[in-house]
Amino acid sequence: MDKYNELADLIFPNVIETLEDLEKRYPVRNIDKSQRVTRFAPSPTGFLHTGSLFVTLVDYIAAKQSNGVFYIRLEDTDQKREIEGSGKDLIEQLKVFGLVNDEGYFGDEEKGIYGPYVQSKRKEIYDIVLKEMIRRNKAYPCFCTEEELTELRKVQEVNKVRPGYYGIYAKYHHFSPEEAIKLIKEGKPYVIRFKSEGNEKNKYKAYDEIKGQVDITENDQDIVICKSDGLPTYHFAHLVDDHFMGTTHVIRGEEWLPSLPIHLQLFQTLGWEAPAYCHLPVIMKIDENGTRRKLSKRKDKEAATSFFIEAGYPTEGFLEYLMTVVNSNFEEWREENKNLSIFDFPFRFDKMSLDGALFDMGKVSFICKEVLSRMNSQEISEKTYEWSKKFDKELQGLIERDFEYFKSIMNIEREKENPRKDYEKYGDIKESIKFFYDDYYNEMLNNELPWNPNIAKEDIKNVLNTFIAKNNMDLDEENWFANLKEIASSCGFAANVKEYKKNKEAFKGHIGDVAEIIRIAITTRKQTPNLYFILKILGVKGYTERINKVINKL
Measured from the CB atom, the residue of 73 and 508 that comes closer to ligand GLU is: 73
Cβ 260 vs Cβ 250: under 8 Å: no
The smaller minimum CB distance to ligand GLU, of residues 179 and 255, is found at 255
- Least distance in angstroms from the C-beta of 75 to ligand GLU: 4
Closest CA to 466 of 491, 495, 485: 491
Say how far apart CA 439 and CA 265 lie, in whole Å. 70
Check residue 546 for interaction with ligand GLU (CB under 6 A). no
Q: Near ligand GLU by CB under 6 A, which window of 29-37, 40-48, 206-214, 420-428?
A: 40-48
Q: CA 446, CA 251: separation in Å to the nearest integer?
A: 57
Min dist. Cβ of residue 233 to ligand GLU (A)? 11
Concatenated DSSP letters of 461-473: HHHHHHHHHH--T
Minimum gap (Å) between residue 403 Cβ and ligand GLU: 42
Backbone angles phi, psi at 177, to 5 degrees: -60, -35
The answer to the question of residue 103 lying near ligand GLU (CB under 6 A) is no
Is 249 a binder of ligand GLU (CB under 6 A)?
A: no
Look up residue 535 and give its amino acid.
L
According to CB under 6 A, which one of 4, 8, 19, 43 is a site residue for ligand GLU?
43
Interaction between residue 312 and ligand GLU (CB under 6 A): no
Q: Which strand ranges, in their side-by-side order, compose the sheet holding 191-194? A: 139-142, 191-194, 224-226
Residue 42 lies near ligand GLU (rule: CB under 6 A):
yes
Site string for ligand GLU, 453-492 (x = CB under 6 A): ----------------------------------------
Cα gap 176→3, rounded to integer Å? 9
CB of 40 to ligand GLU, least distance (A): 7
Cβ-based nearer residue to ligand GLU, 238 or 485: 238
Instruction: Rule CB under 6 A: say whether 75 interacts with ligand GLU.
Output: yes
Total residues contacting ligand GLU (rule CB under 6 A)? 7
Residue 41 CB, shortest distance to ligand GLU, in Å, is 4
DSSP H helical ranges for 164-294 = 177-185, 234-244, 260-270
- Residue 219 or 388 with smaller CB distance to ligand GLU: 219
- Return d(Cα 404, Cα 409) in angstroms, integer: 9
425, 434 contact by CB (below 8 A): no
Q: What is the DSSP letter of 28?
A: P
Nearer to ligand GLU, 131 or 252 (CB): 252
Between 56 and 381, name the residue whose CB sits nearer to ligand GLU.
56
* CA distances (Å), origin 384, targets 113, 286, 438, 502, 545: 39, 31, 21, 47, 29
252 binds ligand GLU (CB under 6 A): yes
Closest contact distance (angstroms) between CB of 338 and ligand GLU is 33
CB atoms within 10 A of CB 413: 14
Beta carbon of residue 42, minimum distance to ligand GLU (angstroms, whole number): 5
Closer of 37 and 41 to ligand GLU (Cβ)? 41
Residue 209 or 370: which CB sits closer to ligand GLU?
A: 209
By CB under 6 A, tell whether 86 contacts ligand GLU: no
- Segment contacting ligand GLU (CB under 6 A): 39-47, 101-109, 126-134, 459-467? 39-47
> Least Å distance between CB 256 and ligand GLU?
6
In the shown chain, the binding pattern of residues 201 to 240 toward ligand GLU, with x for contact by CB under 6 A and - for none, equals: -------------------------------------x--
Q: Which is nearer to ligand GLU, 254 or 382 (CB)?
A: 254
Q: How far is residue 235's CA from residue 75's CA, in Å, rounded to a whole number? A: 12
CB of 343 to ligand GLU, least distance (A): 21
Stretch that binds ligand GLU, among 37-45, 63-71, 215-223, 321-329 (CB under 6 A): 37-45
User: Which residue sits closest to ligand GLU, CB atoms considered?
Assistant: 252
Please check whether residue 534 is in contact with residue 527, taking contact to mean a CB–CB distance below 8 angstroms. Answer: no
**Within 13 Å, how many C-alpha atoms sit on residue 168's CB side?**
4
SS3 of 132, please? helix
Q: What is the nearest approach in angstroms of ligand GLU to the Cβ of residue 446?
A: 53
Spacing of C-alpha 471 from chain mean position? 50
Task: Write down the least CB distance from residue 30 to ligand GLU, Å.
Answer: 24
> Radius of gyration (Cα) for the chain, nearest Å?
33
Q: How far apart are CA 350 and CA 87, in angstroms?
A: 31
Distance CA 369, CA 372 (A): 5
For the CB of residue 252, give the shortest distance to ligand GLU in the complex, in Å: 3
- Nearest approach in angstroms of CB 279 to ligand GLU is 10
- Give dist(CA 347, CA 343) in Å, integer: 8
- Report the alpha-carbon distance of residue 338 to residue 37 in Å, rounded: 29
Does position 41 interact with ligand GLU (CB under 6 A)? The reply is: yes
Residue 299 sits at the vertex; the CA angle it makes with 295 and 305, to the nearest 5 degrees, is 60
Interacting span for ligand GLU (CB under 6 A) from 35-43, 135-143, 209-217, 450-458 = 35-43
510 has which bridge partners?
Answer: 494
Q: Please choose, from the candidates 485, 459, 462, the residue with its C-alpha nearest in 3D space to the C-alpha of residue 472.
A: 485
Kindly state whether residue 122 participates in binding ligand GLU, applying the rule CB under 6 A.
Answer: no
Residue 194: which H helix or E strand, with range?
strand 191-194
User: Which is closer to ligand GLU, CB of 231 or CB of 547?
Assistant: 231
The SS3 assignment for 349 reads helix
Residues in contact with ligand GLU by the rule CB under 6 A: 41-43, 75, 238, 250, 252
